[in-house]
Amino acid sequence: MIGRELSVRVPASTANLGSGFDTLGLALALYDEVWLRVVDRGVRVEVSGEGADAVPRDASHLLLRALRAATDALGVELPGVELRCVNRIPHARGLGSSAATIVSGIAAGYALAGREPDESALDLAARFEGHADNVAASMVGGVVVAWSSAGASPTFRALRLEPHRALAPVLLVPEVESATHTTRGLLPERVPHEDAAFAASRAALAVAALTSRPDLLLDATGDRLHQEYRRPAWPRSLALVEELRAAGVPAAISGAGPTVVAFPVGAPSWAGFDTSGFEVCPLAVDTRGVTVREEPADP
Ligand SMILES: Nc1ncnc2c1ncn2[C@@H]1O[C@H](COP(=O)(O)OP(=O)(O)OP(=O)(O)O)[C@@H](O)[C@H]1O
Ligand SMILES: N[C@@H](CCO)C(=O)O
């Protein structure tokens, strides 16, 4: 085991897609990369790129905690680890950075056990994150429908669906950050039945829109379960979503915000919209999910 080296590549993701709160996810072709070596003791962490000035450099690093959870669950001995992270997914913006990091750690742990990430890996990752939409997208790529059943084993599950080839998401990423745990705290305990019915119809429609009928994305990305409640956390982002939707462009808050995800048809002109302070990032859809490569041992 000592001396084994792995490299991991994991995609970002956009969750919710408006109507599918904690349920729908889409993997994006923006990747964090990690190189990892098993050593005889201790922990050494190097980080470059996003979050390099903020994330811990010890065993409390999120990836190492997820890795340890996986190796403990699989009975793999892990005396020490060296880690080099190249982070490209912005943190706390609604692009699934924490989920991608958790998935990297868990996929690496499974690889050390000689296993592909499977249903149990997804359950473990989702337990870390608290919900499965982003982790499922980062793990398997494409479109995912995630669900949980309290008390069941596995608790968290997901179904992967093939994205329609015309899906061309554009992410509008602001400078400001918004922590997911803070905006989850803005959600009410209960919602009106009428809003639940609205959500059920739009989420069901979104499955069709994302996989075979992108022309239905405007209706399919309508939301009444979370965005309005979270408005105080990112008023400008939600105003931009409303502006885009009023002009017929399907748009929603990406994950827990503050990034906006839009699905313009053709080459859009952003000139008519107030995108000041947002970086406009067209991103392809990732269809592979996390990949782990075993690096050859030193001769
Ligand atoms: N590559 C990373 N390495 C270490 N810690 C990370 C990394 N990426 C994210 N994190 C941790 O996760 C936090 C961000 O998680 P959070 O759930 O708030 O946002 P997000 O995952 O970027 O967005 P969302 O869940 O809305 O898609 C960071 O502040 C950091 O603590
Ligand atoms: N479904 C999650 C995605 C962000 O992690 C939320 O909206 O809180």
Per-residue pLDDT of the chain (299 residues; tens, 9 = 90+): 899 999 999 999 999 999 999 999 999 999 999 999 999 999 999 999 999 999 999 999 999 999 999 999 999 999 999 999 999 999 999 999 999 999 999 999 999 999 999 999 999 999 999 999 999 999 999 999 999 999 999 999 999 999 999 999 999 999 999 999 999 999 999 999 999 999 999 999 999 999 999 999 999 999 999 999 999 999 999 999 999 999 999 999 999 999 999 999 877 788 889 899 999 999 999 999 999 999 876 65
Q: According to the model, what pLDDT value does residue 269 have?
A: 81
Query: Bridge partners of 37?
Result: 5, 82
pLDDT in tens, 73-121: 999 999 999 999 999 999 999 999 999 999 999 999 999 999 999 999 9
Closest CA to 33 of 296, 294, 292, 295: 292
Closest CA to 283 of 8, 61, 66, 93: 93
The CATH 3.30.70.890 domain(s) of the chain lie at: 170-282
Q: According to the model, what pLDDT value does residue 265 have?
A: 84
Q: According to the model, what pLDDT value does residue 278 have?
A: 96
pLDDT in tens, 223-252: 999 999 999 999 999 999 999 999 999 999
Are the CB atoms for 219 and 245 separated by under 8 Å?
Answer: no
Strands 260-262 and 251-253: antiparallel
Which class is domain 170-282?
alpha beta
Which class is domain 5-162+285-295?
alpha beta
Cα–chain center distance at 182: 17
| Dist. CA 245–CA 250, nearest whole Å | 6
Q: According to the model, what pLDDT value does residue 66 have?
A: 98
Local structure of residue 10 (DSSP, 8 states): E
The CATH 3.30.230.10 domain(s) of the chain lie at: 5-162+285-295
Which residues have any ligand 1 atom within 6 Å of their CB? 15, 32, 51, 55, 61-63, 85, 87, 91-99, 101, 134, 179-180, 255-256
Is the full-model pTM beyond 0.95? Answer: yes
Residue 272: phi and psi, rounded to 5, are -80, 0
How remote is the CA of residue 156 from the centroid of ligand 2, in Å? 15
pLDDT in tens, 88-97: 999 999 999 9
Question: 264 in helix, strand or coil?
Answer: coil
Query: Counting atoms of ligand 2 from 1, which one is nearest the CA of 133?
Result: 1
Query: Counting atoms of ligand 2 from 1, which one is nearest the CA of 129?
Result: 5
Q: Which two tokens mark 109?
A: 């742990």
Q: According to the model, what pLDDT value does residue 121 have?
A: 98
